A and B are shown apart, each in its own frame.
Chain A
Amino acid sequence: MSLVQGIDGKLYGTTNTGGASNYGTVFAINLRGGLTTLHSFSNTDGSNPGAGLAMVADGTLYGTTFSGGTYGVGTVFQITQSGDLTSLYSFSGSDGLPVSPLVLGFNGMFYGTTAVGGSSGDHGTIFQISPGGTLTTLHSFSGQDGADPQAGLVQAANGELFGTASEDGQNRAGTAFSIRPSGTFQELFAFDNTDGNTPIGGLIQGTDGNLYGTTEYGGTSYGTVFQITAAGTAVVLYTFSGGADGGNPTGTLVQATDGNFYGTTQSGGTSTIVCPGGCGTIFKITSSGALTTLYDFDNTHGAYPAGGLVQHTDGNLYGTTSSGGLGDGTVFRLSTGLSSFVKTVPTFGLARATIAILGYGLTGVTSVTFNGTPAAFTLESPTAIRATVPSGATTGTVQVVADGATLSSNVAFVVLGG
């Protein structure tokens, strides 16, 4: 589970279990580690969320649970940052069982995957759900084109959605695919074990336009980092050894503001006595495949990080471990010296749309521009600006001048209809 940064600068996430009824929670933490449980699932409103949250411009969060709800097989919910939860949809089984987080599409719909269900052999689905809770199954996996998708989708700059199916495919090692919001599906790549097997984590689109991801197994059995180029060529960037360099990555990568990719491995590292096979690692990898191990979990400070990392606008990386610490996992920060920046929520919009710009310690803001076009804005707090996409703006970097310093967005803002 990856964390998401809220309008208030806190990090929001879910826990699989625990809470008042032990059905899991939605939580927020501030950057000093103060934990607030926003909601404890009751089972009737969902239980055991297995994925992170998606946020829209007003700060409302959307997520999934993989059990509970009306039929006991999962829900889609929304929750405000003050903790008011609304169940939007209860899965019934044939329409799936959601494991993935949601992603907000250009059209205002959310998209996600289910690990099982569908009309083609219970191999899982890709679905669209409206903010009001109307669900449409866009694709049912057949097995031949993949099965058991466990990761969320990523929306590329052209509006196309990309994802992974963790199993099956022609080589029975998982697939990568694209799907348009209209439902047009295309398998991009079938893993064959030598290049990776079981892509549990999702894909991200790098600033170079290429897709990047990880597989849990394959390579030499301990997983890989791969790149799929815009031309559709798959390249293995790194093969984990399962030793000191880590093994079995299951989280989605994040591209930080230095252009490098950061991720976690569930196993490997040097703490092999306390954790058989190692407690896992945090790594950095360049787009050309040079990997550096940044942190080696030792159980005391967490173990088995299963999710990906998020770069907060303070510049630091944040993540979770599924075990270790006092026994039930941790939330951690890794500082690699990167500077503060800004990110937009969402990363796209029409001219005259109001969006949020997240920052850190924002004061004295004198200018907001969208690819050079000045925008009207209001500084709401030290962590958020409310800005209007200016008419005539084009796709590109959003820049904020605060106290004389220029902060740039981590990804290009896509102006729709431009």
Chain B
Amino acid sequence: MPQLFARALVLLGAMSGLAAHALYDDHFTTLVNFNGSNAATAVRVSGTGH
């Protein structure tokens, strides 16, 4: 059994609802729209059975 490092969880206060929002909508650019004919982006592989 490998020896685990010490577990010392520290919640740093950044829990749900405390995130800041600084939306960069004006700085976002869509470069490519995949449409099936030119391919579709990779999705995660799920359900490998464990």
Name the residue on A nearest B44 (C-beta). A306
Instruction: Give the shortest distance, in Å, between B28 (CB) and chain A (any CB).
Output: 5
A contact residues around B43 at 8 Å (CB): 16, 50, 304, 306, 322-323
Q: B4 touches which one: A17, A31, A187, A328 (CB < 8 A)?
A: A187
> Which residues from 300 to 327 on chain A have a C-beta closer than 8 Å to any C-beta of chain B?
301-302, 304, 306-307, 318, 320-323, 325-327
A401 interface hit (Cβ, 8 Å): no
**Are B11 and A292 neighbours in the complex by a CB distance under 8 Å?**
no
> Which residues from 254 to 296 on chain A have a C-beta closer than 8 Å to any C-beta of chain B?
282-283, 285, 288-296
Instruction: Give the shortest distance, in Å, between A116 (CB) and chain B (any CB).
Output: 5
Known: A17-B40, A150-B44, A328-B40. Contact between A245 and B17, CB under 8 A?
yes
Q: B32 touches which one: A16, A35, A235, A337 (CB < 8 A)?
A: A35
A contact residues around B2 at 8 Å (CB): 145, 185-187
A133 interface hit (Cβ, 8 Å): no
Q: B45 touches which one: A115, A245, A292, A337 (CB < 8 A)?
A: A115
A395 interface hit (Cβ, 8 Å): no
Scoring A residues 147 to 174 as 1 if CB is less than 8 Å from chain B, else 0, what string do you get?
Answer: 1101000000000000000011010000
Scoring A residues 17 to 41 as 1 if CB is less than 8 Å from chain B, else 0, what string do you get?
Answer: 1110000110101011101010000
Name the residue on B nearest A194 (C-beta). B9
At the interface, is chain B mostly helix, strand, loop or mixed? Answer: loop
**Are B45 and A329 neighbours in the complex by a CB distance under 8 Å?**
no
> Which residues from 3 to 50 on chain B have a C-beta closer than 8 Å to any C-beta of chain A?
3-25, 27-45, 48-50
A7 interface hit (Cβ, 8 Å): no
Chain A: interface residue total (CB-CB under 8 A): 101
**Are A236 and B11 neighbours in the complex by a CB distance under 8 Å?**
yes
A contact residues around B5 at 8 Å (CB): 188-189, 228, 231-234
**Are B41 and A329 neighbours in the complex by a CB distance under 8 Å?**
yes
Q: A320 touches which one: B6, B42, B50 (CB < 8 A)?
A: B42
Name the residue on B nearest A115 (C-beta). B48
Chain B: interface residue total (CB-CB under 8 A): 47
B contact residues around A328 at 8 Å (CB): 33-36, 39-41
Known: A148-B50, A292-B22. Contact between A233 and B38, CB under 8 A?
no
A contact residues around B16 at 8 Å (CB): 220, 222, 239-243, 245
Whole-angstrom CA separation of A167 from B47 in the bound complex: 11
A contact residues around B17 at 8 Å (CB): 241, 243, 245
Q: B27 touches which one: A29, A35, A240, A336 (CB < 8 A)?
A: A336
Known: A29-B31, A239-B16, A296-B23. Contact between A1 and B9, CB under 8 A?
no
A14 interface hit (Cβ, 8 Å): yes
Whole-angstrom CA separation of A37 from B32 in the bound complex: 12
Q: A291 touches which one: B19, B25, B30 (CB < 8 A)?
A: B19
**Are A49 and B8 neighbours in the complex by a CB distance under 8 Å?**
no
**Are A293 and B23 neighbours in the complex by a CB distance under 8 Å?**
yes
Known: A188-B4, A194-B9. Contact between A15 and B39, CB under 8 A?
yes
A contact residues around B32 at 8 Å (CB): 29, 33, 35, 325, 330-331
Sample 30 A-B pairs with CB under 8 A, ordered by A number: A16-B40, A17-B40, A25-B39, A29-B31, A32-B31, A33-B31, A51-B42, A116-B49, A124-B50, A150-B44, A187-B2, A188-B5, A189-B4, A192-B7, A236-B9, A241-B17, A243-B16, A288-B12, A292-B20, A293-B23, A306-B43, A320-B42, A325-B30, A328-B39, A328-B41, A332-B28, A332-B30, A332-B31, A335-B27, A336-B27
